[in-house]
Each structure stands twice: as structure tokens, then as C-alpha cells.
Amino acid sequence: MDDLIVEFLTETNESLQELDTDLITLEQNPNDKNLISKIFRLMHTIKGTCGFLGLPRLETVAHRAENVMGRFRDGNLEVTPEYVSLILESLDRVRFLLGHIEATSTEPEGSDAELIEKLDSVYEGRDAFQSGGTAPPQTEKETPPSSELEMPSFDDVRTLIADQPTEHTTEPAITTPAAVKEQKESKDSTESAIANQSLRVNVDVLENLMTMVSELVLTRNQLMQIARSDKDSGFVTPLQRLNHVVSDLQEGVMKTRMQPIGNAWAKLPRIIRDLSMELGKKIDLVMTGQDTELDRQVLDMIKDPLTHMVRNSGDHGIEPPADRIKAGKPETGTVHLRAYHEGGHIIIEIADDGRGLPLEKIKKKIIQNGLASEEEVARMSPQQIQQYIFHAGFSTADKVTSVSGRGVGMDVVRTNIEKIGGSIEMNSIEGKGSTFSIKIPLTLAIVSSLIVAVGGERFAIPQLAVRELVLVSQKSEHRIEMIKDTPVFRLREKLLPLVSLNDLLKLGNNNALSSGFDHKYIIVTQVGGYSFGLIVDQVFDTEEIVVKPVAKILKDLTLFSGNTILGDGSVIMILDPGGIAKVTGETSMPEDSDATTSSSSALTSETKTSLLLFTAGDDAPKAVPLSIISRLENIELSTIEQSDGQMLVQYRGTLMPLIPFNSSVTLGSEGQKPLLVFADRGKSVGIIVDSIIDIREEVIDIQVSRNKPGLVGSAIISGKATEIIEVMHYLNSVHGDWFKDHGDEPYLQQNAAESVNGKPLPRKILLVDDSPFFRNMLCPVLTVAGYDVVAVESPIKALELSERGDKFDLIISDIEMPEMNGFDFATKVRSSKEWQNTPMVAMTSHSTPEDIDHGYKSGFDRYIAKFDRETLLDTINRTLALGGHQS
């Protein structure tokens, strides 16, 4: 049964039960205003909900009863005992209908015409008691049945044919309260089966439970810490069990707080409906992922922002039907609401296919409001301009409607979302629509935090805001520089503003002059689009902490979001990155809105690639794209095991094969060695190297390419000749089947030099693959071969590029991708204006003849197995030579 109906039944049954006790007093005191109002409200609620749930019969009864109750409530009709029976009768009918809905999840067939007639006559004041006459109720009862017997015949021919009156057909005919009561009694056993399955618990009780579990978790952590130092104690085993039980308990209690996000969406269809009526628009609201669960507290916090944004989409986003037709869009606009999990977060997307954000208007508004000068605006990217809608008092709507346009919207939305540690991103193309995506944490109660120390005090920073950690030493090039008294740091060719936590919190132990910056850590923090670094003395572990609010007398301290008790029992303050950003002068204008997009949209050959530099064997530095490394570890050499001639190590509960980078990497049996861990789709391999030097962001410009296996070539990186490593070679040498699902053939070497020299102008290739690993793998390979590569993670992103007017000479696409597969993508490309002649190569592990056939039909020109480099390059060459798409 529909969750909504279940909830409705539970609620209504509860209200009815409550009324039962009160009803007894109704007989003695028929004009009890309170009680009448109560019944009125109940009927009103039932009426409203039924309309929403599509229960017309119940709705009608409730509606008519509400009318009558309204008259009683307003006092213009006195409640006589006769009317009391009418009220009771209505309630009983509601109960009967509810019972039937509960049992079969549909409304019973039949009609309530007689009851409705009675109610109507009372409402319209033409019943016996009001018109002064003392017409016996029998007359009323006599007339309706005749009309009523006809009703079912229209409704349900079968019942007449069967000639055996069913419960539904007989029931309306004998509508004395007693008869209905009988009916009700027969249903009594099933009546509140649903009500009994769920239990209403006061939220306070749950909150209390949660606090106690949190305490238990902390106590457990303390005990575990003690037990760790005393391994022989008899407590170890029972502690293990306690550990498990507490974890389960914590999970269980957390679950009680989880609610499907659909609850927060329940009223949205109605809002959209009302909106389309009011504004004369046609709007469809499509909702997916209603079952996605999140913490009740979080849910409450996002309810209003969400409503606001959906309203905005309907009001500002979707155009009136006439405009839509003019723009060549379907008359009915769509607002798509989507929720899904993504690594400890919930992503909520609100997308509309409306007019998008009007850039020119925003520009004008920006200048008008004095937020930026004309020149500044001219230099801004569309993305940056769009960000201004998050400014306070910014509305581009020409007129203020009853719905939106007052300009108190998006900034409040953003503040609310950031308050719960979430972030909001927006993407809008004028004329095509806008997409807002909100990223929020699953729960607020327990957060993973980094523990740092500064000025002798410890603080917790929510991990969510932490981007990376940098150790600075004033002697090396990683040093903090000063502009007047403002410390800054060069982080990958960009200046990162720094905040000395010591100064900010006025801990004032040592005056942080530049000499005092030695051996400090920088915590690169990101709040929305604003990045800054926090200077701290020391960084400890990460810890799961239970956030507790600070005492009321300290609520003015905006730099802290709460406090907590650590495993060792000490109290620690939790820093609020958002608060710090505000205090230290966040411009709220993300200069790096392009950074957020660049990470997701393009990885072009001109953009820089983060490279990890390391040494192995000889001194020559070697580099590998950082993005394909999943983790860096230090491995204890004594833990390496051998099996079937293969080095293995137990890693995160599984066996991971290890390879020394080359034979000159010396492996003793003692000590530690750095390990690069590569992982893709559940498999991982570790490569042992001698030392890790640095992380650099550079343009990979292969100067010399070699015929040596495992090497892409050499490039100048930070002024030194560096070998760029072809990781694939190493991975394939361990796992013959490492990339089975990407094609079996091991790659062959190729001489890239020719192709580099042969091309006067690099050809542009668009690579579409959902696996970041492959994107990062193929980019250098294609770049080395002399192509200009743009890699995107989904066809949707690719189509966005098409809309932006980007041109490519060739598109290489994966087939198996979420959201839109390669076939659909090809069809879309072929039907697009911009790209219809661009040749497309499918790259996949699915190469049954049917698939290949399907591929060609969809618009692909070539079909190749994944990661067969030779064939890939060869195919690209040949396809490009042919020119455009051959249809």
C-alpha cells in the first residue's frame, strides 16, 4: 500500500479514536464548541488529504460533513439530538470507508447519496427540523433509497447481474447508524492493524535516546582506548562484543531518525498545481528517489529551501505555454526533482527545462545594485554571473508575484543549506533551463572530524570542509609568504588566503610572525566556493564525534558550531568553517566557480594535471597522474606475504597484490616503503616505490617518447626531466584479468613520435567515459599521440558542451554509463545540430554482434574493445582520415 495512505490511515484512525471518548459527552452537551471544532477539523483534514490521495468517495462524505459541522461551529445552527445522530452517522461512515481502504487499499464501491442528501439538506437549511415542520425522519429515509438503488446500477452492473447484493450495495440502503456500527464491528479486528504496526513516539524521546547512545559510543571509545594499551586483559573479548552491540544500537537508533525525503516533498505537487493554475502555465512535476532516507533534523531544515526552490522553478523557470511553443519546446514544462545517495551525502537536484537564468538581466542587476562594476561584470564568466542570484536582495523577476520574486530567496536558501554543512551548486543555460543541486550530509548528529591543535588547545574541524592538508616549512618552497600582515600560500600556482587560527582565536601563545610558521600545517578548507587555509600547529587523527550545542551563554561565538567529548574524555570545541569564512572576509564571490566546473566538466590537454612525483630505483623522478591513484600508504615490509610467486598484503580486509616498481627497488624485510594504491571497480593493486617527492600541477608536455614498456615518455616537470609512467603496464602485469570488463588484450607499444610530428594542428577529441580511471588513463595516451583531448564523465555533460557550441573532430564514448548509455548518446548526437557530422567511436567491453549492430544503428562509426591502445589510436587515425560521419 502507498506509504502516504498508510500514514493517512494511521493518523485518521488516531483522531477518530480520540473523538470516540469525546463523543459520549456530545450527547449530553450537544453544543460543545470545542468538540464541534474538533470534528470539523478532522473532516476538513480528511477532505483535503483524500483529494490528494485520490479517494473521491471519502472526500465527498467528509466534504459534506464538514459543511454541516461548519454551520454548527459558526453557531448558526443549534445541535439537537437528531443532529448528533447525523454527526455520529457521518463519523461511522468515514470509519467504515477507512476500514475498507485499509483492508483492500481501495474505496468500496457504492454510494453515500442518502447520507449526503441528509447532510446537504441540513447544510442548506431545508431539513425537517429547520423548516419548522416536524416531518418524521422516515420520509427522508424512504425517498432516497429509490434513487439510491439506481446508483449502484450505474456504478456496478455486475452486482445487479449477480443478483446477490454485496456489502456495498446493501450498505447504503440501510443507513441507520446501528447498521453501520455492525459493519464496523465486523471490521474491528482489522481496523487498526496498520495503526498497531507503527508507533508514534515523541521526538524528544528519540532525541534523548540518541543522546544516550552517543554517550554510550563515547564511553565505548574510552574503554577501547584503555583496552588497546592492555592487550592481555580479560576485557578484550567482552569489549569486542560491546563494541559490536553498540555499533548496531547506534545504527538502529539512527534509523529511527531517518525519514524518506518524500515526506518533505509531499506538498510539492500541490504547490506546483496551484502555481500552474495561478500563472496559467503547464507544469509537470517529476519526482524520483522519494525513498532516499535522511535524518529528520536535516529533513526539517531543507523542507523550506526545497519548497522555495521548486516554487522558483515553476514561477521563474518555466515559461508560459505560448512562449514555450515559440521556443520550440513542448507546451508542458517539467520540473524534475531527484534525490540520491552519493558517498555519505544526499544529492537533491531540482531541474527545470524553462528559460534558464537571464544573464543580461542579472548583469544589469549586479551593476544596478553596485555589487560589481561594469568592467568587472564584463570579465566574468556566465557561471560567476549566475552565482549572484545567491546574493541577498537579488531578484530578476520583473514583477513580484504572490509566489516569488521578492528577492529574499536564494540567499536564504543557501544560508540554510550551508548551516547544515551542505552546499548548493547551480548550472543554468539560458533558454534551456536550470539545474540546482544540493549536497547535504546524511545526518547532523555524528560527524567525522579532523582533530587539530593550535596554541596548545585542540579543536575539531568537520572533515566535510577539509580539502587537503599541507605541511609547510619555511626553508622549502612550501612556505608561507606575507603581504603586509596577511599570510598567503602558493598552492598549485594559486594564492590561497590563510587564516592563522592562533590569531583568530586569540590564543596568543606566540606571535605568529613568518619565522613562527615553520612546521605548521595548512588545512585547506572550502566553504561553498570559497577556499582558504587554516594555519594550525599539529594535526591528529580523524574522529567520529557527536555534535552537542554550546551553552546558551556562548551562543554569540560564531566560530564554533558546537562542542563534543572525545574518546579520551576531554571536551573539545568544534570549529565552524562557515563562521570562520564569514569572519575572515569571505567575498562570497567564488573566484573558483570555474574550479568547481573544471573538475567536473573538462580535462583538456591545456589544463594542468596533478602529478605525483616519486622515485624508484634510480634518482630520476617519475610521475603518475594523481587522479588515478586512489590512496598512498606506507607499508610495513614485514607484513608482505608471498603466494604463488606474487607478493600480497592484507589491505582493508582483502588481499592486494603488490609489485615493486622495478627490480632496483630494494625490499628488505624490515622498515616501511611508500605504496601507491590503484583501485578500480573493486580491484586494487599496490606499486612499491622508494620515496614520494611531491605533488605538482603541470601541463604534461611529452618531450621525448620512448619505446620502453611502462613509460609514456619524458616531460619537464618542475624543471627536471621526469618520466611519465604508463600505469596500465604495471597493472596488467599483475592481473591478467585486471581489466577484463574493459577488453582483454594487453596493450601494444606504439611509437607516438610520428603522430606528434605528423600533425600540424592537433585534432580535438571528446572522450566520454563514466570511469574516472579510464578518463585519466586515456587522456595522457591520446595527448601523447598528439590529440587535443576533452574528457567528460557523462553524455549529459557532453551534450552540454554541444550546447555551448564546442566543436570536436571525433567523439569517443563508452557504452555502459549511468543516466544515459552510449547508444542513446549517439542517437542524441546524430539528431543534434552541432555535432551531427562528428564521427563517433564506441569503446566498450560489450562487443557481441548485436551490440555492434545496435551501435552502428545508433550512429557510431567504429566499434572497438576497451583499452586496446593500438587499435584505438589506429581507429582514431582512420576515422579522422575519413572525415565526417558516414551515414
Partner 1 sequence: MSTHPATPAPQHSQNVGSVSSTQKDFLTIDINGQKFGIPILQVQDVLGEIKVTRIPLAPPQVSGSLNLRGRIVTAIDVRKCLGLPTLEENKKHMSVVVIHDDELYSLIIDKVGDVLTLQEKEFEQNPATLDITWKSVSLGVYRLDGEILVILDVPKLLLSLQHPN
Chain residues in the site for partner 1 (CB under 8 A): 215, 218-219, 457-458, 505-507, 548, 551-554, 557, 559-560, 563-565, 569-573
Give the three-class secondary structure for 703. Answer: strand
- Closest contact distance (angstroms) between CB of 99 and partner 1 is 44
- Closest to partner 1 by CB, 136 or 508: 508
- Closest to partner 1 by CB, 537 or 680: 537
Q: What is the DSSP string of 605-634?
A: SSS-EEEEEEEESEEEEEEEEGGG--EEEE
- Closest to partner 1 by CB, 222 or 845: 222
For 113, phi and psi rounded to 5 degrees?
-55, -40
- Closest contact distance (angstroms) between CB of 586 and partner 1 is 18
- Closest to partner 1 by CB, 169 or 564: 564
- Closest contact distance (angstroms) between CB of 579 and partner 1 is 11
Buried b (16+ CB within 10 A) or exposed e, 427-438: bbbeebbbbbeb
C-alpha distances in angstroms, 442 versus 288, 308, 496, 687, 812?
18, 21, 30, 35, 36
- Closest to partner 1 by CB, 209 or 258: 209
- Closest contact distance (angstroms) between CB of 460 and partner 1 is 11
Longest Cα separation, the chain: 112
- Closest contact distance (angstroms) between CB of 207 and partner 1 is 13
- Closest contact distance (angstroms) between CB of 580 and partner 1 is 12
- Closest to partner 1 by CB, 460 or 700: 460
Give the three-class secondary structure for 304. Answer: helix
Cβ–Cβ contacts within 10 Å for residue 575, how many? 27
Question: Taken in order 73, 69, 122, 16, is the CA torsion positive or negative?
Answer: negative
**Considering only CA atoms, which of 508, 496, 507, 505 is closest in space to residue 472?**
496
C-alpha distances in angstroms, 321 versus 57, 272, 309?
34, 15, 21
Strands 538-546 and 486-491, sheet pairing: unpaired
- Closest to partner 1 by CB, 310 or 572: 572
Rounded Cα distance, 544 and 450, in Å: 9
Q: Which amino acid is at 653?
A: G
Contact in structure between 592 and 531 (CB atoms under 8 Å) = yes
Q: What is the DSSP string of 534-564?
A: EEESEEEEEEEEE-BPPPGGGTT-TTEEEEE
CA atoms within 13 A on the CB side of 763: 24
Contact in structure between 697 and 493 (CB atoms under 8 Å) = yes
- Closest contact distance (angstroms) between CB of 297 and partner 1 is 18
Angle at the Cα of 412 (from 411 to 417), degrees rounded to 5? 100
C-alpha distances in angstroms, 260 versus 264, 274, 341, 346?
8, 24, 12, 11
- Closest to partner 1 by CB, 378 or 553: 553
**Considering only CA atoms, which of 583, 590, 582 is closest in space to residue 528?**
590
Name 615's bridge partners: 691
- Closest to partner 1 by CB, 569 or 884: 569
- Closest contact distance (angstroms) between CB of 463 and partner 1 is 21
Rounded Cα distance, 515 and 532, in Å: 21
- Closest to partner 1 by CB, 563 or 732: 563
- Closest to partner 1 by CB, 218 or 864: 218
**Considering only CA atoms, which of 233, 287, 93, 95 is closest in space to residue 171?**
93
Buried b (16+ CB within 10 A) or exposed e, 872-882: bbebbeebbee
Rounded Cα distance, 80 and 62, in Å: 20
- Closest to partner 1 by CB, 388 or 560: 560
Q: Which amino acid is at 487?
A: P
- Closest contact distance (angstroms) between CB of 505 and partner 1 is 4
- Closest contact distance (angstroms) between CB of 559 and partner 1 is 7
**Considering only CA atoms, which of 344, 862, 843, 779 is closest in space to residue 603?**
779
Rounded Cα distance, 327 and 432, in Å: 10
- Closest contact distance (angstroms) between CB of 497 and partner 1 is 21
- Closest to partner 1 by CB, 217 or 335: 217
- Closest contact distance (angstroms) between CB of 210 and partner 1 is 13
- Closest to partner 1 by CB, 271 or 507: 507
- Closest contact distance (angstroms) between CB of 216 and partner 1 is 9
- Closest contact distance (angstroms) between CB of 547 and partner 1 is 11
Residue written as cell 597522474?
A: 625
Rounded Cα distance, 183 and 631, in Å: 67
- Closest to partner 1 by CB, 502 or 750: 502
- Closest to partner 1 by CB, 427 or 502: 502
Residue written as cell 464491528?
A: 185
Question: Taken in order 578, 579, 582, 585, is the CA torsion positive or negative?
Answer: negative
- Closest contact distance (angstroms) between CB of 220 and partner 1 is 12
Rounded Cα distance, 616 and 625, in Å: 16
- Closest contact distance (angstroms) between CB of 219 and partner 1 is 7
Q: Which amino acid is at 585?
A: G
- Closest contact distance (angstroms) between CB of 51 and partner 1 is 42
- Closest to partner 1 by CB, 559 or 782: 559
- Closest contact distance (angstroms) between CB of 553 and partner 1 is 5
The end-to-end CA distance of the chain, in Å, is: 50
- Closest to partner 1 by CB, 416 or 563: 563
